[in-house]
Structure 1
Amino acid sequence: MDTAAFADHNYYRQGPAPAPRPRGRRTEPRRSVLQRFSQSPEDVQFYTGFSSIEHLMAFWRLIERATASVGWPERTNSSDAAGNQEDLSSATDMVPLDEFLLFVSYLSTGWTMAELEQHLNIHNTTFTRIIITWANFLYGLLGSVRTWMTPEEVKAHLPREFIDYVDTHVVIDWIELHCQTASPSSPQQSLCSSHTSCCLLKGIVGVAPHGAVMFVSALCGPSASVREVFRQSGIIPLLSSDMTVMLNRSFRIDDLVPCRVHRPGEASNDSKDQAALKIHLEELFLAIRENKVFNISIPPPVSGSINQLFTIACLLCNYQRGPLGTPFKQED
């Protein structure tokens, strides 16, 4: 998606620059996270999900002014594994860019808290605060940007792979996220089986044919079928009779939507065009699923922000890479 979309939204109040956020006392010089992550294009891709350092810094410049409003969680005490009390409202000694990079590295690499502490020499309670803080901030920021595209916008970027499905408006699939449960009183326990310490949550994602993420639902618990997750997702009111949706994986929604449904995965035609389309559909959602956060279990300290993490991991794809496929003129 064109990053110029940010220009239509005012994310900060005009006026004097706000005072810098308070920082903790630095006990020793710290090598910046950007230095660690930007040794090569491959490092940038692996650690942040952005295709290049230029993409990464362009996105940072879009949100930099707004980061002045990033606030730490309300004052509360938490205990780490050793039983030590730590105040979640205390600030870190890191600059905002480093905090942001640590947050996206968690989404991209799926490192556990212990691995992050080992690789980056950052205590897991500090990193927990960073995840919660930036999850809340980016959820509000990215969520305020209009992502649902008009039919004209979709058709203007329609890839050649959709030559036989030019009426497609959005491609729909479901994505799963694992969540650990700390105790029977955990907020997530109502979504999970009482016989397990980990539950599988599902959400609906709608992607434009050229790769822009247009829609992300809230997560539903494992007892809900994919059809029920779709029904509760909130995407149905966005669909109209002149649209057509395409399913990346088949599930029955025909009686739930006011429009046509394409299922190329069920087509018996094994033509070259059909094969190219199926590969393209896999690539559309691979960009999202490459975030390793979808391959781990979200730990209890940050499980309260699981919906924010899910939404951000999906929406960030609009800024991490360019569009997929080559547009074609429908009159050709």
Structure 2
Amino acid sequence: MPLRDAGAVEALGALPDPLVAAFALVTLLGDVAAYFLVFSLLYWLGDRTPVLGDRIDRPLIVQVVALGFGALALVALLKHVFALPRPPGAGQPVTVAGVPEVLRSVVADATVDDGYGFPSGHAFGSTAVYGGLGWLTSEQGDRRPLYLGATLAVLISLSRIVVGVHYLGDVLAGVALGVLWLAVAVRYLPTPRRSFPAAGALAAAGLVVAGPTEYLLFGLGASLGGSVAWWTLDDWIPATAQSGRTALVTAGLGVLVVGGLMAVVAALDPPPLPGVLATAVVIGALVAVPVAGPRLDARLG
């Protein structure tokens, strides 16, 4: 038994099938695709976001996104440096009984992963992103957002052991490194003007050390696009939405523009260097959408 495990994978993997299936769905919240969807909508809706609206604005959300890109680059770099394997069977889907047929394929896909295992990217990323959102939206005397973000990060981290793709040590290291990254970033990279370039620098360093991996290429392109868009448009991007309708129009425009660009990129499937530039365009467009949203709303009358 590896020192990184202490029997946790075997113990948690023996949970009843419905619980394993539930954790398999929870683990999807730690995927890059989930971050992209959740934080794009939060950014476009801004202060009109249900429940969280009175605590957030667009600069805060885009800062969390930038910290997420930095976390993505860091974990890809660290995985290559440590080069430690995942648990045996991480490449085989978990079969569960007692769940609807429509969910079985989703659960199967969520319980498979490859590549190096240490530290856990889901634990690192969810701590940095969901924990970071909770940290930055907490107020003195009201720490509920922090507790909620931390709870979500813990559940996502725990799910990686339950579905058998990480050892306990991978997850603990991921959480600890996520907290450390947040503490350093909040202190020394307090705005997107600093955090986007820092994330790009980490991705570039990772490419030198580990070579052109998917996540490092995405991180480099995303950080480049975010940096250019924020440095260029910062003064033009409304921190808050003029109205609920403006927020909805902005979000709708974002879905159409960014979704369309992503569909084009997926269809073209460009090689690495053009792919980096294509990612930069997509993220730059995402950041720029709130500039056009109010104008479109005014035209719609």
Give the TM-score of the pair, scaled to structure 1: 0.22
Give the TM-score of the pair, scaled to structure 2: 0.24
Q: Which has the higher strand share?
A: 1
Q: Which has the higher helix share?
A: 2
Tell me which structure has the larger Cα radius of gyration.
1
